[in-house]
């Protein structure tokens, strides 16, 4: 499991997974029902993205978010 501490790291993880699956931004954006610009901003770590849309993209990439308390 990868520890993500900021939006840039999250965006990089999303980009890496998309590329691993061989998806273009245009394909994934269309499939997820989001704009290509939204996906680009997400992958670039924009702080003000919409959480629901991000969760849709993560789900389509087969990714989950797991929360844990620091130090545990």
Where do the structural domains in the chain lie, given as residue ranges? 7-60
CATH node for 7-60: 1.10.260.40
| 3-class DSSP state of 38 | helix
CA–CA distance, 60 with 48 (Å, rounded to integer)? 21
Distance CA 36, CA 51 (A): 16
Give 1 or 58, the one with higher predicted confidence: 58
**Residue percentage of the chain with pLDDT more than 90:** 81
pLDDT digits (tens, 9 = 90+) for 10-33: 999 999 999 999 999 999 999 999
How much is the pTM?
Answer: 0.89
């Amino acid at each position: 499991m990868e520890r993500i501490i900021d939006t840039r790291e999250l965006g990089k993880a999303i980009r890496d997974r998309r590329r691993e699956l061989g998806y273009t931004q245009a394909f994934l954006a269309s499939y997820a029902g989001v704009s290509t610009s939204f996906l680009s901003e997400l992958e670039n770590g924009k702080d003000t993205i919409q959480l629901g849309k991000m969760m849709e993209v993560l789900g389509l990439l087969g990714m989950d978010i797991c929360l844990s308390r620091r130090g545990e």
